[in-house]
Amino acid sequence: MKPEYCTSSQHPKWFGLAVQALILLSQEKMNTTCPSNELAGYLQSEPSLLRRILAVLAKEGFIGTREGRDGGYHLKKPAESIRLVEIYDAFRAGSKLCFGINESAGTHPLGQRLKSTLEDITGEMDASMREVLSKYTIADLVLQVETNV
């Protein structure tokens, strides 16, 4: 497990909110933007929390921003090209669980003997999660949402 996974202050639910925000932005018309307050209202999320999530998505190049009266957020990449694993990587969504499992081993004798095994297991968990998430794009989720209406 990479150390940067363990120091992230981002909450695992950020991944879910990021995915939902990208789905909403993918449904906006190509040249229009959506303000963060509107996205937050739709997602029933705190606007300041969503703005922090959107800042990560912008930094990673998934979305663009426009300031001013008609400002807001828009997709910079086609929804078909945004894989869920890329979003997972941007937010290190699984880090706290895996780190917590590894840290639970402690420094007692059993923990020391078990630590290596737990690191192998959590590494396998992360690899499995990444494999599943690499199969899906934002466009795939949009299609599933539209068919389930």
Q: Is the pTM of this model over 0.95?
A: no
Residue 126 lies in a domain: yes
Number of domains in the chain: 1
Residue 5 lies in a domain: no
Distance CA 22, CA 140 (A): 12
Between 10 and 145, the more confident residue is: 145
CA of residue 20 relative to chain centroid, distance = 10
**Rounded average pLDDT over 118-122:** 85
Residue 56 lies in a domain: yes
CATH number reported for the structural domain that contains residue 91 in this entry: 1.10.10.10
Residue 76 lies in a domain: yes
Residue 22 belongs to domain spanning: 11-147
**Rounded average pLDDT over 118-139:** 91
Distance CA 27, CA 121 (A): 38
Residue 104 lies in a domain: yes
Residue 3 lies in a domain: no
Residue 1 lies in a domain: no
- Give the angle 16-14-106 at the CA atoms, nearest 5°: 110
Q: What is the three-class DSSP state of 101?
A: helix
* pLDDT tens for each residue of 7-63: 345 666 889 999 999 999 998 665 678 999 999 999 999 999 999 999 999 999 999
Residue 6 lies in a domain: no
